[in-house]
Amino acid sequence: MKTLIKPAPSLLLLATCLGLGFTTPALAQSAGRPQPVNVDQVSDFTYLLRVSNPALERSEVKVVRLSNNAVLFHNASYAHTLGHKLNVRELPDGEYAFVVKVGKKTHRYTLDIHTQMQRSARLGSVSMPSMAVR
């Protein structure tokens, strides 16, 4: 009976290791697959937008002002990859969107541009003997 008890944990351990061996490559392949759209900020007002289009479907990139849906930039392509360096420094304050369509899928990234004025306050001490608390 003892010989039947020992192989069971070994067999279970072997099955677990084999199971992990088969699932790990599948996870690695899905994690290594490029995303269809990437947006990276490369400086204060500059963004690098990259589109992966392995199926060679129609892809579109737009920059849209959300207050009135005005299209400020538009580019369409059937290329395998597409990239744009977008500088938004000159845009007035407001809300914008990078809209990317690849085939039937739409990816939208919002961008808020707001100028902030620096405001400061400084507290000083003033000696006023007439306002002494009684």
Give, for all 134 residues of the chain, the pLDDT tens digit: 444 444 444 444 444 444 444 444 444 444 555 678 999 999 989 999 999 999 999 999 999 999 999 999 999 999 999 999 999 999 999 999 999 999 999 999 999 998 877 676 777 766 556 555 55
Q: Judge whether 96 and 86 are in contact, CB under 8 Å.
A: no
At 129, the amino acid letter reads: P
pLDDT of residue 68: 97
- Between the alpha carbon of residue 73 and those of residues 34, 84, 92, 99, the distances in Å are 25, 11, 15, 10
pLDDT of residue 117: 75
pLDDT of residue 73: 96
For the entire predicted model, the pTM comes to 0.62
25-55 burial, b at 16+ Cβ within 10 Å, e below that, comes to eeeeeeeeeeebbebeeeeeeebebbbbbee
